[in-house]
Copies of this chain bind each other. A is one copy, B any other.
Amino acid sequence: MIIILKPTTAAAMQAKLIAQFGTTHEVFTHANRIAIQGLTPAELPADVRAASTDLLTDVPAAVQSSRLLHPEDTIIRTPHSVIGGNHFVMMAGPCSVESAGHVERMAEVAKQGGATVVRGGAFKPRTSPYSFQGLGEEGLRDLRAAADQNGLDMITEVMDDEHVAMVAQYTDIFQIGARNMQNFSLLKAVGRTRIPVALKRGMSATIDDVLNAAEYIAAGGNHQIMLLERGIRTFDNKYTRNTFDLGAVPVLQELTHYPVIVDPSHAVGTWELVTPMAMAGVAAGASGMIVEIHDDPTHAFSDGPQALKPKTYLKMAKQAFQLHDLVQSWA
Chain A residues with a Cβ under 8 A of chain B? 26, 37, 61-62, 125-131, 159-163, 179-180, 182-186, 188, 203-204, 206-209, 212, 215-216, 219, 232-240, 243-247, 249-251, 254-255, 267-268, 272-273, 276-277, 279-285, 315, 319, 322-323, 326-327, 330
Contacts and interface: CB of A to CB of B under 8 A. Distances in A.
A251 B240 contact: yes
Nearest to A216: B129
A281 B277 CA distance: 9
Nearest to A237: B235
Contact of A247 (B186, B267, B319): B267
Contacts of A159: 184-185
B203 A185 contact: no
Contact of A272 (B254, B273, B283, B326): B254
Given A180-B183, A182-B125, A235-B204, A246 B215 contact: no
A48 B130 CA distance: 24
A247 B244 contact: yes
The 7 residue pairs across chains A and B that have the minimum distance between CB atoms: A204-B204, A160-B185, A283-B283, A179-B182, A279-B283, A280-B284, A129-B219
Stoichiometry, copies per complex = 4
Given A127-B209, A203-B204, A206-B238, 12 more contacts: A26-B130, A127-B208, A160-B161, A206-B235, A206-B236, A234-B243, A240-B251, A246-B246, A247-B267, A250-B272, A280-B281, A319-B330
17 contacts: A127-B209, A128-B215, A130-B215, A162-B162, A180-B182, A207-B239, A232-B234, A233-B235, A235-B237, A246-B246, A246-B280, A249-B280, A250-B273, A276-B283, A279-B284, A280-B280, A283-B283
Contacts of A234: 232, 234-235, 243, 245
Contacts of A330: 315, 319
Nearest to A234: B234
A40 to B, nearest CB: 17
B160 A246 contact: no
Contacts of A255: 239
Contacts of A129: 184, 188, 212, 215-216, 219
Contacts of A237: 235
A249 B276 CA distance: 9
Contacts of A161: 160-162
